[in-house]
Amino acid sequence: MRYRLFTVLRAPKVLFTILILFLMLLAVNHFRPTFRRTSTIGDGVSFAGRDLSGLTAAEAKIVIEQAASILNHPPIDSKLDPATNGVIPGLNGLAVDVEETLARALAAQENETVKPVYQQVEAAVSLTHFPEKPIYRGNPAKSEVAFLINVAWGNEYLEELLAVLKEEQAEATFFLVGRWVQANKAEARLLAESGFELGNHGFSDALSMQELSFEAAAADISKAAAVIEEVCGKRPVYFSPHRGELSEEVLQAAASLGNRTIMWTVDTVDWKLPGVAVMLEKILSQAEGGSLILMHPTEQTADFLRQVIPALRAKGLEPVSLSKLLSPLRTLKE
């Protein structure tokens, strides 16, 4: 009698225990593929042309480290250009982040090609080491160019010029003369509100910058910056002298105000109205990675832009803002 009673009382507990064990077994079987997938690489997963299928994390890490030595890009220091006495901007390096790339490989689906995860490596010598040196070009390792558009006149051509840039989704940097901004506030605001980068082209284009003292040059640059900031809401950090007139006093004055002096690589000479075909031939034959392309709002500029932008892209060159071109950040096309 006592045994039967004991058996009746224990039966629910035994059944409950069996049920728990059964559920645990189901859970283990359910999650086993996931566990297996995170501890070894899935079938058909590859990295840098190497098959990682079935490798453990430790084994895959060795393969990624070996490939990284080939995939890494060393940084490029900023350096002086003896031909122009300007400075060529440096460029960050790119180093494969082995741990992050390994994590990506472990999480990869079957037959997936894993892309490397990179981290930026700063160059030892940057533009900050040459604060008073002008820039005539960006780093040639960048597949980008920058349009520099000086504005002291040509209001009637600005609207079409902006329309072409927007249609083509191309960036540009407009260097504004201070007294033009003061007299044409609506047009200046339009440039700023359109999202384009603004630069300082001095307050008066009637001055010969190279004949000015340090104090006079600083006063002209500062006055233009104040007017541009007041009207456009943005204070420029780049300065380009009218007619490209340079002197040590001008360079020192710009640097003292926190401005980098910008020159150009290729000049369209569009103010002479040479014709769209002539400008196209000149720019496309001379432009390369890092080129700064100078122009103005003229009756020929919009048509020139409409044709040169796709032509530059066909050469693998993307028109970007000046700040983007001069940035040391490096990107890779995947």
Predicted confidence at residue 20, as pLDDT, reads 60
26 found inside a domain: no
The answer on pLDDT for 106 being more than 70 is yes
The answer on pLDDT for 16 being more than 60 is no
The answer on pLDDT for 11 being more than 90 is no
33 found inside a domain: no
Based on the fold, state whether residues 118 and 197 are members of the same structural domain: no
Based on the fold, state whether residues 302 and 187 are members of the same structural domain: yes
Based on the fold, state whether residues 118 and 247 are members of the same structural domain: no
Residue ending a domain, choose from 105, 128, 151: 128
Q: What percent of the chain has pLDDT over 90?
A: 85
Which CATH number fits the domain that encloses residue 165?
A: 3.20.20.370
17 found inside a domain: no
Total-model pTM = 0.83
pLDDT digits (tens, 9 = 90+) for 118-166: 999 999 999 999 999 999 999 999 999 999 999 999 999 999 999 999 9
218 found inside a domain: yes
Based on the fold, state whether residues 193 and 262 are members of the same structural domain: yes
pLDDT digits (tens, 9 = 90+) for 248-258: 999 999 999 99
Count structural domains, the chain: 2
Q: Are 32 and 21 in contact (CB under 8 A)?
A: no
Residue ending a domain, choose from 91, 106, 128: 128
Based on the fold, state whether residues 62 and 124 are members of the same structural domain: yes
Q: Which domain holds residue 216?
A: 131-326
Based on the fold, state whether residues 117 and 144 are members of the same structural domain: no
Based on the fold, state whether residues 162 and 110 are members of the same structural domain: no
Based on the fold, state whether residues 73 and 221 are members of the same structural domain: no
175 found inside a domain: yes
- Mean pLDDT (whole number) for 168-179: 98
Based on the fold, state whether residues 140 and 219 are members of the same structural domain: yes
pLDDT digits (tens, 9 = 90+) for 228-252: 999 999 999 999 999 999 999 999 9
What pLDDT band is residue 25 in, cutting at 50, 70 and 90?
A: low
Based on the fold, state whether residues 244 and 312 are members of the same structural domain: yes
39 found inside a domain: no
Predicted confidence at residue 21, as pLDDT, reads 57
317 found inside a domain: yes
Q: What percent of the chain has pLDDT over 70?
A: 88
The answer on pLDDT for 193 being more than 80 is yes
Q: Which residue has the tokens 């940035």?
A: 327
14 found inside a domain: no
Predicted confidence at residue 3, as pLDDT, reads 42
Based on the fold, state whether residues 135 and 233 are members of the same structural domain: yes
Residue ending a domain, choose from 128, 156, 189: 128
Q: Are 60 and 116 in contact (CB under 8 A)?
A: no
Based on the fold, state whether residues 135 and 78 are members of the same structural domain: no
Mean pLDDT (the chain) is 91
